[in-house]
Structure 1
Amino acid sequence: VAGRPKEEYGLEPQGLDEIRPGCYNVDERVKDMNAGGILGSMCFPSFPGFAGRLFATEDPEFSLALVQAYNDWHVEEWCGEYPARFIPMTLPVIWDAEECAKEIRRNAKRGVHSLTFTENPAAMGYPSFHDFDYWKPMWDALVDTDTVLNVHIGSSGRLAITAADAPMDVMITLQPMNIVQAAADLLWSKPIKEYPDLKIALSEGGTGWIPYFLERADRTYEMHSTWTGQDFRGKLPSEVFREHFLTCFISDHVGVQLRNDVGIDNICWEADYPHSDSMWPGAPEQLHEVLTEHNVADDEVNKMTYENAMRWYHWDPFTHITKDQATVGALRKAA
Structure 2
Amino acid sequence: MESSAELPMVVSVDDHVIEPAHLFETWLPAKYRDRGPKPLTAGIGQLEYIGGKYRISMDPDGPPTDWWIYEDLQFPYKRNIAAVGFDRDEMTLEGITREQMRRGCWDPKARIEDMENNHVEASLCFPTFPRFCGQTFAEAHDKEVALACVRAYNDWMVEEWCGDSGGRLIPLCLIPLWDVQLAVAEIKRNAARGVRAVCFSEIPTYLGLPSIHSGYWDPFFAECEATGTVVCMHIGSSSQMPAASPDAPPAVQATLSFNNAMASMTDFLFSGVLVRHPRLKLAYSEGQMGWIPYALERADDVWREHRAWGGVRDLIPEPPSTYYYRQIFACFFRDRHGVASLDKVGVDNVTFETDYPHVDSTWPETKAVALDHMAGLPPEVVYKVMRGNAIRMLELDLDRHVNADGRLR
Length-normalised TM-score, structure 1:
0.92
Compare the two structures and name the one with the higher helix fraction. 1
Q: CA deviation at 1:84?
A: 2.8
Contact 1:269–1:305 (CA under 8 A) maintained in structure 2: yes
Aligned positions, number: 319
Matched ranges for 1:133-282 at <5 A = 134-230=216-312, 231=314, 234-282=317-365
Report the Cα distance in structure 2 between the residues aligned to 1:195 and 1:155, rounded to whole angstroms: 22
Deviations 1:153-185 (A, max 9, x none): 011210111122212211110011221111111
Match of 2:380 in 1: 299
Matched ranges for 1:40-55 at <5 A = 40-55=122-137
Match of 1:34 in 2: 116
Compare CA radii of gyration and give the structure with the larger one.
2
Deviates more, 1:189-198 or 1:65-74: 189-198
Report the Cα distance in structure 2 between the residues aligned to 1:119 and 1:98, rounded to whole angstroms: 20
Contact 1:84–1:318 (CA under 8 A) maintained in structure 2: no
> Secondary structure at the residue paired with 2:170?
coil
Contact 2:177–2:183 (CA under 8 A) maintained in structure 1: yes
Match of 1:326 in 2: none
Deviations 1:122-174 (A, max 9, x none): 10111111111x21221121111111100110112101111222122111100
Deviates more, 1:83-92 or 1:242-251: 83-92
> Secondary structure at the residue paired with 2:119?
coil
Q: CA deviation at 1:83?
A: 2.7
Deviations 1:7-45 (A, max 9, x none): 101112222122111111001111111111111100000
> Secondary structure at the residue paired with 1:118?
coil
> Secondary structure at the residue paired with 1:264?
coil
> Which 4+ runs in 1 deviate beyond 6 A?
none
Task: Tell me the percent identity.
Answer: 39
Matched ranges for 1:122-133 at <5 A = 122-132=205-215
> Secondary structure at the residue paired with 1:115?
strand
Report the Cα distance in structure 2 between the residues aligned to 1:234 and 1:167, rounded to whole angstroms: 43
Letter in 1 for 2:189: R
Deviates more, 1:99-108 or 1:176-185: 176-185
Report the Cα distance in structure 2 between the residues aligned to 1:147 and 1:233, rounded to whole angstroms: 24
Q: CA deviation at 1:232?
A: 5.9
Report the Cα distance in structure 2 between the residues aligned to 1:144 and 1:300, rounded to whole angstroms: 29
Q: CA deviation at 1:233?
A: 5.4
Deviations 1:51-110 (A, max 9, x none): 111122222221111000000110111111113312211011111111000000110001
Which of 64, 72, 76 is the matching residue for 2:155? Answer: 72
Report the Cα distance in structure 2 between the residues aligned to 1:7 and 1:115, rounded to whole angstroms: 34
Change (3 A) 1:119 1:269: same
Instruction: Structure 2: state its 5+ residue gaps.
Output: 1-82, 403-409
Report the Cα distance in structure 2 between the residues aligned to 1:15 and 1:185, rounded to whole angstroms: 39
Match of 1:103 in 2: 186
Match of 2:34 in 1: none
Q: CA deviation at 1:234?
A: 4.4
Contact 1:23–1:29 (CA under 8 A) maintained in structure 2: yes
> Secondary structure at the residue paired with 2:232?
strand
Letter in 2 for 1:96: D
Q: CA deviation at 1:282?
A: 0.6
Contact 2:272–2:315 (CA under 8 A) maintained in structure 1: no
Match of 1:333 in 2: none
Report the Cα distance in structure 2 between the residues aligned to 1:286 and 1:144, rounded to whole angstroms: 36
Does structure 1 residue 285 correspond to structure 2 residue 384?
no
Q: CA deviation at 1:229?
A: 2.9
Letter in 2 for 1:297: P
